[in-house]
Copies of this chain bind each other. A is one copy, B any other.
Amino acid sequence: MNAERIEAALRAAVARVSAPPCPPGLRAALRAAVLPGGGRLRPHLTLAVAAACGDDAPALADAAAAAIELLHCASLVHDDLPCFDDAAVRRGRPTVHVAFGAPRAVLAGDALIVEAFRTVALATGPADRKVQLTAALAEGAGAPFGIAAGQAWEEESSVDVDAYHRAKTAALFVAAARMGALAAGGEAEAWAAVGEPLGQAYQVADDLADQLSAAADLGKPVGQDAAHDRPNLARRLGVDGALMRLESLAADARAAVPDVPRRHLVTGLIDAAVARLLPAALAEPLPRAAVG
């Protein structure tokens, strides 16, 4: 049901940003960047937190979820560009720049960033919440704390690894959790504390996947971190160490969930997300003692 809300909100946003008189090539690039998508993990987090907070403005929660995912899609399109990862495949299909050219990939990313903010502005809901959502989305997406800054760390010869990981991955999870709370009038900072370890767990899982999985399983090339000499926790800690770290972060995320009646909506999502995050090759359960 949340999946349907997310896809409906994303389809509406894509329809709006690519409506006539959108140039046809940009329209195709915009659609390919967003539809069909990946796990939609961030917008699911937004909606789960909104539900736990009462979801009293569901149209605004839907808009917040879509905005987070539009920003995520934009960052993927830009990350795949030849001047970054130069990735040819994403989610098993040609990347946007391969299919439609680098200019349209740059512009599709730009337009999706803009559309994320417009989606919040146009939603039905209280104006003060929309302003808070806009600020939270901007903090997670831009600089100095958001994904643009995170990606830019990869261009530095000397990397602040903590700032890099927080910005590159955790920031958008923090924004996703915050925005779920803000959309429903909840306590944003309490829920940010759930997004932070979950985002870090996602980064560990991504590092593991990059290090280990077969390209066919992920639908994208792997070993990018080694190829680009980027920090990778699975290289540093080893596979077992990284798996234990992932489980420990997931436990931190569970523990951070505020004690509200519907908290199970979020803990359940965390469990499901962690199960999905583990690369297929590593999906055997850890001994529960290791989870704490």
B120 touches A106 (CB 8 A): no
Q: Which of B113, B121, B142 contacts A17 (CB 8 A)?
A: B142
With a CB–CB cut-off of 8 A, which chain B residues contact A4? none
Looking across the interface, which residue of chain B has its beta carbon closest to that of A75?
B110
A167 to chain B: closest CB distance in Å?
8
A121 touches B144 (CB 8 A): no
Once the chains are docked, how many angstroms separate the CA of A117 from the CA of B127? 15
Contact with B along A126-157 (1 / 0, CB 8 A): 01101110110111011111101101111110
Question: Does A214 interact with chain B (Cβ within 8 Å)?
Answer: no
Contact with B along A4-36 (1 / 0, CB 8 A): 000000000000011111111111001000000
A104 touches B143 (CB 8 A): no
Question: Does A180 interact with chain B (Cβ within 8 Å)?
Answer: no
B19 touches A151 (CB 8 A): no
Q: Which of B84, B115, B167 contacts A138 (CB 8 A)?
A: B115
A26 to chain B: closest CB distance in Å?
4
Oligomer copy total: 2
With a CB–CB cut-off of 8 A, which chain B residues contact A114? 113, 138, 141-143, 146, 148
Once the chains are docked, how many angstroms separate the CA of A26 from the CA of B152? 6
Looking across the interface, which residue of chain B has its beta carbon closest to that of A23?
B152
Looking across the interface, which residue of chain B has its beta carbon closest to that of A21?
B163
Contact with B along A95-137 (1 / 0, CB 8 A): 0000001111011011101110110111000011011101101
With a CB–CB cut-off of 8 A, which chain B residues contact A118? 134-135, 138-139, 142
Contact with B along A163-203 (1 / 0, CB 8 A): 10001000000000000000000000000000000000000
Looking across the interface, which residue of chain B has its beta carbon closest to that of A101?
B155
B78 touches A111 (CB 8 A): no
Question: Does A49 interact with chain B (Cβ within 8 Å)?
Answer: no
With a CB–CB cut-off of 8 A, which chain B residues contact A137? 117
Question: Does A81 interact with chain B (Cβ within 8 Å)?
Answer: yes
With a CB–CB cut-off of 8 A, which chain B residues contact A109? 110
Question: Which residues of A, 54-82, contact B by the 8 Å Cβ criterion?
Answer: 74, 78, 81
Question: Does A83 interact with chain B (Cβ within 8 Å)?
Answer: yes
A142 touches B21 (CB 8 A): no
With a CB–CB cut-off of 8 A, which chain B residues contact A17? 142-144
Question: Does A259 interact with chain B (Cβ within 8 Å)?
Answer: no
Q: List 15 A-B contacts (CB under 8 A).
A: A23-B149, A23-B152, A23-B155, A25-B155, A78-B106, A83-B106, A107-B143, A110-B148, A113-B114, A115-B143, A118-B138, A118-B139, A121-B131, A122-B135, A134-B134
Given A23-B152, A83-B102, A118-B135, 16 more A-B residue pairs with CB atoms under 8 Å apart are A17-B143, A17-B144, A18-B144, A19-B144, A21-B160, A26-B143, A26-B148, A26-B152, A83-B103, A106-B106, A117-B134, A118-B138, A118-B142, A120-B134, A127-B130, A130-B131
